[in-house]
Amino acid sequence: MALVNEHFLKLPNNYLFADIAKKVNAFKTVHPKTDVISLGIGDVTQPLCPAVVEAMHKATDEMATMQSFRGYGPEQGYDFLRDAILKNEFLPRSIHLDRDEIFISDGAKSDTGNFQELIRWDNSIAVTDPIYPVYIDSNAMIGRAGIKTEDGHWSNVIYLPCTAENGFVPALPQQRVDVIYLCYPNNPTGTTLTRNELKRWVQYAQKNDALIFFDAAYEAYIQHDDIPHSIYEIKGARKVAIEFHSYSKTAGFTGLRCGYTVVPKEVTVSTLTGERLPLNPLWNRRQCTKFNGTSYISQRAAEATYTTEGQQQIRQTIDYYMQNARRMKQALKGIGLQVYGGDDAPYLWVQTPEHMTSWRFFEQLLYNAHVVCTPGVGFGPSGEGYVRLTAFGSHERTEEALERILRFY
Ligand SMILES: *Cc1c(COP(=O)(O)O)cnc(C)c1O
């Protein structure tokens, strides 16, 4: 008899986006002719840029002849991509990393979900709230999160609320924690931390011997100079932080798959007897055992984002989305809504009017404006009273959605 990993049974089986789809479908059944616009999508919509497509065609042709065919690649990723990352992402910010501190992945979701395997089940974890659900759920799967209580909190997780009251800047934990998940620019709130605010977290980690898992999936959307693109811009971070990157939102790779994780050699963890061990060789070992590399074609595609044309083309697409974000923020503020984020991220975090619940406001927007948003409470207890809107739509559909919302209010 095979016994189930009971921790999986603790995960709630109602998934946020399935619940949303159910409610949207219920609406469409009753109003089959109504055109519904989604501002809830967490996926990009613009196609891959020409430089990337060209690189993929070329890589495909290479795979077609025996001389240039590539089979299994290095589990850590090809040197051409690791070197392009060092040269284009880190050196311009005066961050000096070695090639073997960069691990190419098939995206940041897998790595942010898997990295917790390297630490014992009884470490304490802290998360900002609201939060990208992967961080908690992956910890729940090995029993580290405890159980989910009635009020939506996991019993063993330390929550750091981010709300309008604290300007979406989480307070340092009252107690010592072992691991802290930070994601900036943030999904879902679209807010950021300044260099000084992030510095406090690095100092906390140094003082408390804690690890920071830093998700930088949206760094390409940053528009302001005082917001760090990488936690390694902060002195001392290379001793305490692991950083996750993705080409998904940067270059539209959500369907293509490529990302990378930075594991500096100085980051160490402790044995029960107090011996310090670097995480870098452990992650290398984990990847060599469980991961067989990202496809050659995807890695050539990622490399192409660093060419002059590639850089210019992906920048154009990000500007396109950020133009939506600006329009949305301006229009929604114009009708008196409290709107956060959207300045350095493709997400807007909108406070519901008159203390309505997230789901109530979701339904109001759906039934009155025929616009779909994402209820904030789905991202954690502190998301109650907010909804998330995304800037990933087309200009035309975004404008139309705004007009409908404006007409209703
Ligand atoms: C979209 C997103 C990612 C990227 O995930 P991929 O697996 O690389 O597509 C990572 N973190 C957050 C918070 C995201 O929203």
Phi, psi (rounded to 5 degrees) for 159: -95, 135
The length of the chain, given as a count of residues? 409
Q: Is 259 in the pocket of ligand 1 (CB under 6 A)?
A: yes
Q: Which residue shows structure tokens 């496809």? A: 295
Instruction: Give yes or no for residue 214 CB within 6 A of ligand 1.
Output: no
The pTM of this model reads: 0.97
Residue 218 to residue 249: CA distance in whole angstroms: 7
Query: What number of other Cβ atoms are within 10 A of residue 203's Cβ?
Result: 16
Which residue type does 90 have? Answer: F
Task: Select from 215, 253, 379 the residue to mutate for testing ligand 1; criterion: most ligand atoms less than 8 Å from CB.
Answer: 215
Q: To test the ligand 1 pocket, which listed residue (17, 106, 109) has its Cβ within 8 A of the most ligand atoms?
A: 109
- What was the pLDDT predicted at 135? 97
Residues 6+ apart with CB under 8 A from 247: 253, 256, 258, 259, 301, 302, 305
Question: What amino acid is encoded at 165 in this protein?
Answer: E
The residue ranges of DSSP E strands in 78-188, in sequence order, are 102-105, 125-129, 157-161, 179-183
What is the C-alpha separation between 334 and 328, in angstroms, rounded? 10
pLDDT at residue 109 in the model = 97
From residue 9, alpha-carbon distances to 137, 154, 200, 229, 286 in Å are 11, 14, 37, 37, 26
Query: What are the CA-CA distances from residue 90 to residues 17, 82, 85, 232 (Å)?
Result: 35, 11, 7, 9
Residue given tokens 């924690």 in the structure block: 177
Distance 275 CA to ligand 1 centre (A): 34
User: What's residue 12's pLDDT?
Assistant: 84
Task: Note whether 313 and 50 are within 8 A (CB).
Answer: yes
β-partners of residue 371 are: 37
Measured from the Cα of 258, ligand 1's closest atom is 8
Q: Order of strands across the sheet with 386-390?
A: 339-341, 347-351, 386-390, 374-375
pLDDT at 219: 98
pLDDT of 409: 84
- Ligand 1 atom nearest to CA at 107: 8
Decide: 254 in ligand 1 pocket, CB within 6 A: yes
Handedness of CA 83, 88, 92, 97 (dihedral sign): negative
Residue 388 Cβ contacting ligand 1 at under 6 Å? no
pLDDT beneath 70: ranges in the chain? 14
143/210 Cα distance (integer angstroms): 20
Amino acid residing at 352: T
State the distance from the centre of ligand 1 to the C-alpha of 245, rounded, in angstroms: 8
pLDDT in tens, 131-152: 999 999 999 999 999 999 988 8
pLDDT digits (tens, 9 = 90+) for 250-284: 999 999 999 999 999 999 999 999 999 999 999 99
The reported pLDDT for the residue numbered 36 is 97
Alpha carbon nearest to ligand 1 atom 11, residue: 217
Q: Is 75 in the pocket of ligand 1 (CB under 6 A)?
A: no
Pairing of strands 157-161, 179-183: unpaired
Q: Does ligand 1 come within 6 angstroms of the Cβ of 132? A: yes
Nearest CA, atom 14, ligand 1: 217
CB distance 248 to ligand 1 below 6 Å: yes
The shares of helix, strand and coil residues in the chain, as percent rounded to the nearest 5, are 45, 15, 40
What contacts 149, CB < 8 A, 6 or more positions away? 155
pLDDT attached to residue 42: 86
